[in-house]
Structure 1
Amino acid sequence: MSAFNAIGADQEVDTDAFTPGVEPRATWCPGCGDFAVLKTLKQAMVERGKNPDEVLLVTGIGCSGKLSSYFESYGFHSIHGRSLPVARAATLANPDLEVVAAGGDGDGYGIGGNHFTHTARENHDMTYIVFNNEIFGLTKGQTSPTSPKGHKSKTQPSGSAKNPIRPLEWGLNAGATYIARTAAVNPRQATEILVEAMDHDGFAHVDFLTQCPTWNKDAKQYVPYIDVQDSEDFEFDVHDRDEAAQMMRETDTRLHEGEILTGRFFVEEGRPSYSEEKRQTGQMPDKPIVEQYFDEDAEWKPSSDLLDRHR
């Protein structure tokens, strides 16, 4: 049993358990892809046998940031681009929690891009969902890091002169050990991918295509999509880094040509997570910090004293 008594408890839970009583109805714009993320996240938690007390959802700023308001669990609404460092701290302190971080493409790939790189590099054991609608939605339609070249917006009235970033390749180069792309129009696949991402031991990066009908009317609605695992046109080994990289490049290129490829792109098994490596080298205590604080027989002491001071 965990320090939190609810963790590991045998309870029957359905998706209604993840619907909060305070703010049960999401207020995103009609047609927004964010509704699909909320629905599939609830379903994924049920399929994994989780209850709300076993989950921490950390969000940033933007339309995606409201996810934690509409999802019943422990939640932390951080500042712009900072959901990952908060999630990392929670994972290190209490590894029994199911930690999910979420942010938009501007939040995650722009303002919080440095955190994305180093969280993936260190392979923290968590799931990171990036709502990718190729626009800054909450702040009313500015060009984002994933907006296609030539896209016109309030900040780029003559069209963006920059090529968009390639999220899948970025995650691979940074060191993520599970990388997938899904879309709001494919809830079945999205649920399966989120379950796999949370089951994965290490940093799981899910690029979730979410249409924005209000501020990005020029963007495709991400249909029709092709599941690369179901299509005979694409054969590659998700466990082979080189083959995954080639498939990711083709996928990100085709996205802005109107062809939507989704699925699992890279899975690396057996690589220790950040916490595991730190424990192996004696830089983290074997007993999680949160359990030491909840142990009635343990002597209370500041976190700085839980490890020997650096010499």
Structure 2
Amino acid sequence: MTAFTAIDTDEQAEKDDFTPGVEPQPTWCPGCGDFAVLKALKGAMPEVGRTPEETLLVTGIGCSGKLSSYFESYGYHAIHGRSLPVARAAKLTNPGLEVIAAGGDGDGYGIGGNHFMHTARENHDMTYIVFNNEIFGLTKGQTSPTSPKGHKSKTQPSGSAKDPVRPLTLSLASGASYIARTAATNPRQAQEIVKEAIEHDGFAHIDFLTQCPTWNKDAKEYVPYTDIQQDDEFDFDVTDRREAADMMYEAENRLYEGEVLTGRFYRDEDRLTYGEEKRKTGEMPADPLAERYFDEDAEWARTADELLGRHT
């Protein structure tokens, strides 16, 4: 079975089907928030109705990059900051494939920040999970784009002089059509949000707060969270960009004051995905192509189904 032949089959997957036989036990540090991302993803996939053969997980570099090793599906471990270009290409080539990209805050908001902005702007149909622990963990505790101002680290021993990136606001300004924040300390909400993001048609961005007990013992992810959909203090329309922007600004301010606000911040269900826009203009075929040939005198193409029919 391949990523083409598995699409739209009647097979049902269980949570355990997403645990690989080669490397089933993660080697993250005890207490790492990355475990919560893996658990939420494994729990969400059967609810979405996808099998490992229908799923591609593309990861970047860092502790979060090991996610594709601990999750049974098609996987691609990209270079630093480049998970999104690979994920975009896979989705455009095979629209029926469920594509998920993942990376850390340094990988996604720093080195891959340009790809993040333009993938959101183009509204590619995929889910992007950013493990946000406010530190570079795998490289042993350097200041990251989300480290708070004044944070002391190996690269900023006197304290960071820079304001942190505001990932939710950046995502909205760039054009993401689904934006949420959850935390490792809230596993039930995390699984629900991952499921919603995967089911969303368009670019779904999850800022997943994951504590790093080894290299960032000051991270505010340890404090209790507040679900903005469950608290009467927060009454806003997640489909209204202006109200969503105000709520994001509030959440990003409070995070560094010691209060974690999680939940769904923005959702646009009406906007066409990048693939839909390209197919609408006729620039992309309705069915994914396996081969295309053309010169001055001839042009022909074969769909993936036609090619597979000859060899399976």
Aligned partner of residue 100 in structure 2, secondary structure: strand
Q: Secondary structure at the match of 1:234?
A: coil
Counterpart for residue 11 of structure 2: 11
Alignment partner, residue 113 of structure 2: 113
Asked if structure 1 preserves the Cα contact closer than 8 Å seen for 2:15 and 2:42, the reply is yes
The CA deviation at 1:294 is 3.9
Aligned position for 2:226: 226
CA distance in 1, matches of 2:222, 2:130: 15
> Which residue is equivalent to 2:261?
261
RMSD over equivalenced CA pairs, Å: 1.6
Contact 1:179 1:206 in 2 (8 A): yes
Show the 5 A alignment for 1:215-294: 215-290=215-290, 292-294=303-305
Alpha-carbon shift at residue 293 of structure 1 (Å)? 3.4
* AA in 1 matched with 2:73: S
Take 2:251 and 2:220, find their aligned partners in 1: how far apart are those partners? 15
Asked if the contact 1:109–1:145 (Cα under 8 Å) also holds between the matched residues in 2, the reply is yes
Are positions 1:34 and 2:34 aligned together?
A: yes
Please give the secondary structure, in 1, of the residue aligned with 2:220: coil
Normalising by structure 1, what TM-score? 0.93
Identity %, equivalent residues:
73
Deviation track 1:140-166 (CA, whole Å, cap 9, x = no partner) reads: 000000000000000000000000010
* Structure 1 spans left out of the alignment, 5+ residues: 300-311
Shifted more, 215-224 versus 86-95: the winner is: 215-224
Paired position in structure 2 for 1:296: 307
Output one character per residue of 1:183-226: Cα deviation in whole Å (capped at 9) or x when no partner.
00111100110111011110000000000000001112343100
2:4·2:94 contact (CA, 8 Å) conserved in 1?
no
> Which portions of structure 1, spanning 4 or more consecutive aligned residues, are displaced by more than 3 angstroms?
296-299
Matches within 5 A, 1:21-100: 21-100=21-100
Q: How does 1:98-247 map to 2 (within 5 A)?
A: 98-247=98-247
Question: How far 1:22 sits from its partner (Å)?
Answer: 0.4
Letter in 1 for 2:181: R
Partner of 1:21, secondary structure, is: coil
- Aligned residue type for 1:230: Q
- 1:261 is displaced (CA, Å) by 0.1
Q: Is the 8 A contact 2:110 2:145 kept in 1?
A: yes
Q: Contact (CA 8 Å) 1:60, 1:103: kept in 2 or not?
A: yes
Whether the 8 Å contact between 2:221 and 2:260 is mirrored in structure 1 is: no
Displacement after TM superposition at 1:9 (Å): 1.6
Q: Specify the SS of the correspondent of 1:275.
A: helix
| Distance apart, 1:281 and its partner CA | 1.1
How big is the shift at 1:297?
8.9
Which region of structure 1 is more displaced relative to structure 2, 209-218 or 290-299? 290-299
The alpha-carbon distance between structure 1 residues 211 and 3, as it changes in their structure 2 partners (threshold 3 A), is closer
Aligned partners of 1:3 and 1:294 also within 8 Å: no
Tell me, yes or no, if the aligned pair for 1:222 and 1:260 is still in contact at 8 Å. Answer: no
CA-CA distance at 1:116 after TM superposition? 0.2
CA distance in 2, matches of 1:40, 1:235: 27
Q: How many residues align?
A: 299
Gaps of 5+ in 2: 291-301
Q: Distance in 2 between matches of 1:270 and 1:221?
A: 33
Structure 1 CA distance, aligned partners of 2:116 and 2:42? 24
Residue aligned with 1:205, SS: strand
Counterpart contact for 2:3–2:54, Cα < 8 Å: no
